[in-house]
Amino acid sequence: MRNRGIAAILAMIFLVFFSVLGISFCSLATSSMHGAKNDRDAQVAMAAAESGMAFIQRTIADITMTQSQATGQAAMQAIYSKLRTLDGTATLGGQSITVNADFTTITVPAIALHANEKIAQRCTAQLTLNAADLTADRPDISLRVTGSNSNNSSFSRTLMVTLTSRDRTLEAFTYGVFAKGRVDLADGKASVIGTPASAGSIGSAYTGSTAIFLHGGDISGNVYVSGDPSVLFATNSSSGSVGGVDIHDSASLADALTHVHEIDPPTIPLFNANQFAQLDSSGTTKLAQLPRDAALFKGKAYSDVCITQDVTFAGNDVLQGLIYVKRGVTVRFNGNPTIQGVIVVEDPNLDANGVPIAGSNVTSTSTLNFLGTPIFATPVWPMDSIVPLEQQAVLADYSVLGPSAYIYISGNGGSNKEYAGFGKTVVCGTLEEYGSGMVKIRDGTLITMSDTMVTGTEGYSGYFDGDGVEIQRSPGYHAPYGGYVHLFSWVIESSTYREVTQ
């Protein structure tokens, strides 16, 4: 009997023990579940903050402003206008976006990122500008984003970054050859060669199919296209390479295609050649006009001139300072004339203030015909030059600034003379090259601005049927800082990314 009592007691002890153990396991499981939920909510909050930051940045990255507009207050006004008109109701997700009176703080109260029965991601955002930077040029802007799971708002994460301005117009100058339209290296020997090799890259903003035709010539850099990334390679050529990879058969062609990159359409600079016209108050040019009786200039250089009629320069002629070419004029360069200055061609698509004329799309209205070797030496400005010093500094980065001009080259641009070829950046509407040597550009870029060629018959913005072009960039090369309208946007400075406490 006594043994049976002990068994009952032991049974009750084990029952209590297992009950306590079960309760402990249940409590541990409940705690783990709560911990997992809290961890999930924290991750959801962080994801919401990161998504919100990406959303805000991508939205305002499309805002572009000219140099004269890019002050702190103007930037904030542009950002505010863009955010509040995204859904056409002056709100974002039904929430009103607010800005304080002096435009130093923009507040986005709530952005719904994702919602279902378990997860509801939301975030708030605030953009802040220092009051002292309201009138400053292109100041930094602070972006603060707080993300949360609205089903458990006690868990939130806050991220901060600094938005800094980026000059989007500089993109076109990173290539050796950049075309708004199509590029054709028509002859198997037509190449784009760079020093360094990357300077021999081709970029095209043409969004249609086959923006760049490569018929076997060497491309020392890469190929960059917008829109349809198709590029035509002539695989039956016995020579040719892209990025150092030979193009001979299907296998090597596949390797070459790794050097073809699809890019977002670059921001194309709006060049304003007309600002260099040097007009007096009545709108009349103050530059000396050509052509004149050549005998009057025997032994002298043509300095700071405006060319209003067709003219031909001989091989021993010297041009200095600003050579301004009016629309509709053909300028022929026979032999090897020396150009110690900059050729600027009037643009009929802009008014006198450099503002685009609505509906105007005039291309190739003036022709620069190089029948010999152009020799662009260091600019020489007359002591009594009427071109202001600040304009001289801008023009020093160009050899030709003619965004609507047609350039035809049939001479040997690759002469071994010290200053053979173009010294700096060449901007034109269209370019055709049939020369017997490489056309050299020392420390610059070749930019063609026409969608299609209308003067020639090939239909390209840049057409190379000779040996092509060679870009020779010095270690200190820099893109021109003037001559065009700067367009800025605001992007995240990655080094400033940080999480902050509430």
**Among the listed ranges 249-258, 301-310, 313-322, which one has the minimum average pLDDT value?**
249-258
455: Cα separation from own chain's centroid:
27
Q: Which of 19-45 are b and which e, b meaning 16 or more Cβ less than 10 Å from the residue's Cβ?
A: eeeeeeeeeeeeeeeeeeeeeebbebb
364: amino acid identity, one letter: S
In sequence order, what are the beta bridge partners of 177? 202, 446
Q: Specify the pLDDT at position 16.
A: 66
Instruction: Give the DSSP H or E segment for 226.
Output: strand 223-226
Q: Specify the pLDDT at position 117.
A: 46
**What are the residues whose beta carbons fall under 8 Å from the beta carbon of 2, sequence distance 6 or more?**
none
Q: Categorize the per-residue pLDDT at 456 as very low, low, confident or very high, splitting at 50, 70 and 90.
A: very low
Residues 87, 93, 94, 96, CA torsion sign: negative
What whole-number distance in Å separates Cα of residue 427 and Cα of residue 430? 9
- Strand (E) positions, 410-483? 425-433, 439-442, 446-448, 462-464, 468-472
**361-377 residue pLDDT tens:** 665 579 999 988 888 98
Q: Specify the pLDDT at position 56.
A: 85
Q: In 10 A of CB 147, how many CB atoms?
A: 26
Average pLDDT over residues 405-425: 80
Q: Specify the pLDDT at position 453.
A: 47
Indicate the average pLDDT of the chain.
81
CB 99 within 8 A of CB 105: yes
Between 105 and 454, residue with greater pLDDT: 105
**269-301 residue pLDDT tens:** 889 999 999 988 888 888 888 765 555 555 567
Against a cut of 0.85, is the pTM above it? no
Alpha helix stretches (DSSP H) within 176-323: 250-256
User: How big, in percent rounded to 5, are the helix, strand and coil portions of the chain?
Assistant: 20, 35, 40
**What are the residues whose beta carbons fall under 8 Å from the beta carbon of 223, sequence distance 6 or more?**
201, 202, 203, 212, 214, 231, 242, 259, 260, 261
Q: Specify the pLDDT at position 457.
A: 44
Least Cα distance to 344 among 360, 321, 364, 317 occurs for 321
Q: Categorize the per-residue pLDDT at 236 as very low, low, confident or very high, splitting at 50, 70 and 90.
A: very low
Q: Specify the pLDDT at position 423.
A: 92
Q: Specify the pLDDT at position 390.
A: 93
What whole-number distance in Å separates Cα of residue 462 and Cα of residue 186? 10
Q: Quick one: tokens of 137? A: 């040029």
133-to-70, 72, 103 alpha-carbon distances in Å: 11, 6, 11
pLDDT over threshold 60, residue 493: yes
pLDDT over threshold 70, residue 89: no
Average pLDDT over residues 84-96: 62
**26-72 residue pLDDT tens:** 666 556 555 556 667 777 788 888 888 888 888 887 787 888 888 89
499: amino acid identity, one letter: E
What whole-number distance in Å separates Cα of residue 488 and Cα of residue 140? 12
Q: Phi, psi (5° rounding) for residue 265?
A: -55, 120
End-to-end CA distance of the chain: 70
CB 180 within 8 A of CB 280: no
- Which percentage of the chain shows pLDDT scores above 90? 29
Q: Quick one: tokens of 155? A: 């868990």
**What are the residues whose beta carbons fall under 8 Å from the beta carbon of 116, sequence distance 6 or more?**
none
Instruction: Decide the pairing of beta strands 218-219 and 241-242.
Output: parallel
CB 163 within 8 A of CB 141: yes
Q: Specify the pLDDT at position 455.
A: 46
Q: Specify the pLDDT at position 11.
A: 65
What whole-number distance in Å separates Cα of residue 454 and Cα of residue 468? 20
